Amino acid sequence: MKAIVYDAFRAGIVSITVLCISPGTGSARITQTHSAEPNTPKKAAPMSKQANGTFEVKLNVQTDEKVGDPTVGRMSIDKQFHGDLEATSKGQMLSTVTEVKGSAGYVAIERVTGTLQGRAGSFSLQHTGTMNRGVPELSVTVIPDSGTGQLVGLTGKMNIIITDGKHSYEFNYTLPHAGK
């Protein structure tokens, strides 16, 4: 039974990873609205920017028979980002598959450390992915107030794309004083 659950989990996580982060899912547009009362000096609006590049990801199954339900899988995440985001990340993922083909879900949090278009620091990303009978939906969002160093105040969403087995990203973000 345990081997069947493990095999189903492993097959399911591959399905989740491939389907939830295929082209066209998880993309986002950041919009900012500002309201100011009359006679209140306006602050310079943060600039919305986009960072692009590639990354490699390594997922490792973590097992601990005494923790949780065996149908919920846990994996470590190790990534190396290239391009406008030169960074590494480490994180954790929880996932599950169902008895209905093409239905599954995962959540993950990863800590990214490096440079974003020349600005050094770190920040955290939160992933929420579901697959409903083969229809994927993915959201990868910067956790509020997680930025450090020159990335303090970072907000944004990341679109993960897989083409021919290669991973790339489009990261739409806002950073105070990004234009300086």
The pLDDT tens digits for 18-49 are 434 333 333 333 233 333 444 555 555 566 99
pLDDT in tens, 53-96: 999 999 999 887 777 777 889 999 999 999 999 999 999 999 99
Type of residue found at 51: A
Classify domain 2-25+48-175 at the CATH class level: mainly beta
CA separation for the pair 128, 136 (Å, rounded): 11
Task: Supply the pTM of this predicted model.
Answer: 0.74
Residues 6+ apart with CB under 8 A from 130: 20, 104, 105, 136, 137
Give the residue from 8, 26, 30 showing the smallest Cα distance to 96.
8
Mean pLDDT, rounded, for 95-105: 94
Q: Helix, strand, or coil here: 9?
A: helix
d(Cα 173, Cα 141) in Å, to the nearest integer?
A: 10
